[in-house]
Amino acid sequence: MTDLYRLLPEEMEQLVVDMGYPRYRADQILLPLYYKFPKVINDIPQLPKKLREDLTEAGYTIGSAKETHRVVSDDGDTTKLLLNLTDGTPVETVLIQYPSSKINGHPRSTICVSTQIGCAMGCVFCATGQMGFEKNIRAEEIVAQVIHFADILQQRGEHVTNLVFMGMGEPMANYDEMIRAVRILTHDRGFGIGQRNITISTIGLISGIDKLAEEDLQVGLAISLHAPNNELRKKLVPTAGPNSVEDIIEAGRRYFKKTGRRVTFEYALMKGINDSPKIATELAILLKGNGSHVNLIPINPTAGDFNRPTQDSIREFERILFNAGVNCTVRIEKGIEISAACGQLRIDIVG
């Protein structure tokens, strides 16, 4: 069985031609797939009955993610879904909306997609990392997460504006499937979202960062740093190499040089661990002058035995970076109370 959501538009075109149909039939499949969200091939009535039958007999299907649980934050801006993929595997996906940041009258609607079930990186402060690694998610299953929320939003008269590959798993560890999904989702005959509206996050897999720089994609890159030195980073990220900090900084420079896209370094602030003025100064020295942006993320509940710093500590950390000329912001987290924020996704925690 082959899911039609796996095919790039060029592959869809080749498929219909190989089956003896004119090329334009491909667009008669693609337009409904990404704008009408059919569940089965027979839900595409503009296709000739014979083509629908031929596709079905050849083993083509329209995959979907079945919603089994939904929780919504108190302010209504964050929705977390537990979805069953086509093989029954459960995965968490999150919609985050910013009603005050309206685009053409619509709220900014960001889908946080997952690329793996679990994660092998083992970050001690991350709920997903602590559940271990189970499997990679196929490209069509990544697309299905976006399509499911796109359908929900369309019924509200809204649409997906941004995608972040920051859900369950390490995107670079499922590189080929992740990139296929990105190309499908950004293709002007596919889902059609702008490349600059996508951010891919990584704990720092250097080979993946370098490969991404060669893809000719204008996507954002976010690298999870979390510490300014290798000793501390190794404690927080057990899979980190002996020179991971230097390697990550250099990979970020290469990415920026190749793509012209500024790199964001994500930094989870943990009370008494990596939030002191001394560490902030060390981080400032490390990043000063490299043109990157630092996203400070006060640690969220349920992500291990770590505590969020005080507001005074957060502000002081930010001030030190700012005074050193390092561009930084403190992330406004949403959905913490439903375990939908950064580091909280875990399929047995559904709110």
Separation CA 269–CA 195 (nearest Å): 29
134 annotated among ligand-binding-site residues: no
Cα(105)–Cα(85) distance, rounded to whole angstroms? 32
Q: Is 342 a catalytic residue?
A: yes
Q: Decide if 282 is catalytic.
A: no
| C-alpha 247 chain-centroid distance | 23
15 labelled ligand-binding: no
224 marked ligand binding residue: yes
CB 89 within 8 A of CB 117: yes
* Residue 67 annotated as lining a ligand binding site: no
Inter-axis angle of helices 9-18 and 24-35, nearest 10: 130
Q: Strand, helix or coil at 234?
A: helix
How many Cβ atoms from other residues are within 10 Å of residue 234's Cβ? 16
Is 226 known to sit in a ligand binding site? yes
Of 92, 177, 266, 318, the active-site residue reads 92
Phi, psi of 161 (to 5 degrees): -110, -25
Q: In what order do the strands lie in the sheet with 78-84?
A: 66-72, 78-84, 90-103, 106-112, 162-165, 198-202, 220-224, 263-269, 293-298, 327-330
Count of Cβ atoms closer than 10 Å to residue 316 Cβ:
16
Residue tagged active-site, from 141, 266, 318, 342: 342
42 in a labelled binding site: no
Paired tokens of 35: 């704008």
Q: For residues 133-163, b (16+ Cβ closer than 10 Å) or e, as one string?
A: bbebbbbbbbbbbbbbbbebbeeeebebbbb
Q: How far does Cα 151 stand from its chain's mean position?
A: 18
Is 167 among the annotated ligand-binding positions?
Answer: no
Q: CA-CA distance, 147 to 112, in Å (whole number)?
A: 12
Please tell me whether 300 is known to bind a ligand.
yes
| Residues making up the binding site for [4Fe-4S] cluster | 119, 123, 126
| Residues making up the binding site | 119, 123, 126, 169-170, 201, 224-226, 300
Q: Which are the catalytic amino acids?
A: 92, 342
| Residues making up the binding site for S-adenosyl-L-methionine | 169-170, 201, 224-226, 300
